[in-house]
Chains A and B, each alone.
Chain A
Amino acid sequence: MAPGAILSHLHRADGSATYTHNGYSIIGAVNGPVEVLRRDEMPEEATVEVNIRPAFGVGGPKERHLESLLHSTLRSIILTRSIPRTLVQITLQVSSLPEEEASTRVNSSLTLLPHLLHTSLLALLSASIPLSTTLTSALIAVPAHKSDPKLAVPLLSPTAANLLRAAPIQSTHVFAFSGDRRLLLNESEGAFSYEEWEEACEMAEESCCKEGGGGVDIGEGMEVDGQQGNLEAWLREVVRRKVGEEQRWRVAT
């Protein structure tokens, strides 16, 4: 299932996006570039601020941890030097979680992380903040295999129900790749060997990045309805829809 995305639907924010995938739903809003507090001001760079609000209750250490991960990842793709002495404020509100989420016994900050990354990227695109590249991210879960650990088949972007069925999970990994196939972020948890990690990394890269290098594709969008759609193609399709929406006055009667 390809993730669902709605762009620029909040009219008070400079950019916004709602992202739904596998039972997760997150609303993201971006304000920027705006005036920055004097003590956060940097003479040659923009300040990036990430706020995560959980689905219920107030944010705790888990949200702070996710915020710091997102902050460092997003700062590396935002062209902060082209908008110095300003603030880019990213607010993410988790609006719904899958029902089985609490009982999967997998660190919930890892399962949430790819969705948060995608939401913030879509909101940044909607706000037209200058970026050096795009970003795609995937979760890989390696279930424990009773007899031979080598036979364990890693799961790519599993749903909460999938995780529950495959329990116990040996290790979970989150990878984020830039548009030019560079690894931007990796968070892993559990017991795993280097070979297992490498296999998971390759699997994530395949689903995140398209074949070959970058470059503008001219013309029609790609099919994104396969069993595991390529995330890069999905992102392109989302942007194509955004552009179509903006340019529809050209073809209107």
Chain B
Amino acid sequence: MSTAVTIALPGDVIPPSALPKPQKQNKPLTLGPGLRHIPPSTITSTIAGALTTDSKKNAAWVEYNSGRFLPAVGDLVIATVNNSAGEGFNCFITPNTPFATLPQLAFEGATRKTRPQLAANSLVYARVTNAGKESSPEITCVDPSTGKSEGLGPLKGGMVFKISLGMARRLLAGKKGGVTVLEGLSEKVGFEVAIGRNGVLWVDGGKVKATLAIGRAVQEVDEKALGETGQKKVVEKVLRNL
């Protein structure tokens, strides 16, 4: 491990020298997960992890990869529909937590007459719109400004795979996440994926065999924390067996 990582324990006071230096004077400091501001000017961490800063965004947060997913506004999640109640669907984001509500009109092209029929246990790819601690979370499958789905909506076919929360973040982060296994596989096999921040990966590879192979490959990369060469080897192994 490089020495640049700053370990934060709950209750540690983050010294101002460890916080990012704003490039523009008027940009306020943003605190991400795991940090708490105690007025007037004390910043302490609340969870154990690596303190990470971004001087461009003037943001600081604690990076960790364990525990349960806590929804935040804007997160993309794969939710499971439990039942339909009145105006909305009750969905699970993580097991044993209060339902997230998905309004029946929050789909592309949905009107009062043509609302989607979702059976229990069907999957939806949705965005979190409200995650206040005062109320149960709300999710939507439509961009409220354009009325388009932007890739969100019910997921048909395919399979879900459990991945760690950190892996889900890495997959959504694109190049910064350093996951190349999906790109490597897509050169030879066609498939569709959706990544939920709640640690769920949905894969549809057309055939069951392809779906399973792709899902397991991502899980293997996650568990073994493989780097670029390791991921290439996984891709080769999967393509040989398909």
Contact = CB atoms under 8 A, between A and B. Distances in A.
Interface of A: 7-8, 14-15, 31-35, 77, 79, 82-86, 125-134, 178-180, 214-220, 235-236, 239-240, 242-244, 246-253
B12 A14 contact: no
B11 A243 contact: no
Interface residues of B, number: 46
B114 interface: no
Given A83-B133, A130-B46, A216-B14, A250 B178 contact: yes
Interface of B: 1-3, 5-15, 18, 34, 36, 44-51, 63-68, 70, 96-98, 133-134, 166, 170, 178, 225-230
* Interface residues of B, dominant DSSP: loop
Given A216-B12, A249-B225, A127 B97 contact: no
Q: Which of A14, A129, A243, A253 has the most CB of B within 10 A?
A: A243
A243 B50 contact: yes
Contacts of B228: 253
A243 B66 CA distance: 10
A22 to B, nearest CB: 24
A248 B166 CA distance: 12
Contacts of B166: 246
A235 B1 CA distance: 18
B9 A128 contact: no
Nearest to A132: B11
A131 B49 contact: no
Contacts of A84: 133-134
B68 A32 contact: yes
A236 B46 contact: no
A251 B6 contact: no
A33 B70 contact: yes
Contacts of B47: 125, 128-131
B24 to A, nearest CB: 26
A247 B9 contact: no
26 contacts: A31-B96, A33-B68, A33-B97, A35-B97, A82-B36, A82-B133, A125-B48, A127-B68, A128-B64, A128-B68, A129-B67, A130-B10, A132-B11, A179-B11, A214-B12, A215-B13, A216-B8, A235-B9, A240-B7, A242-B66, A243-B7, A243-B50, A246-B166, A247-B50, A249-B226, A252-B226
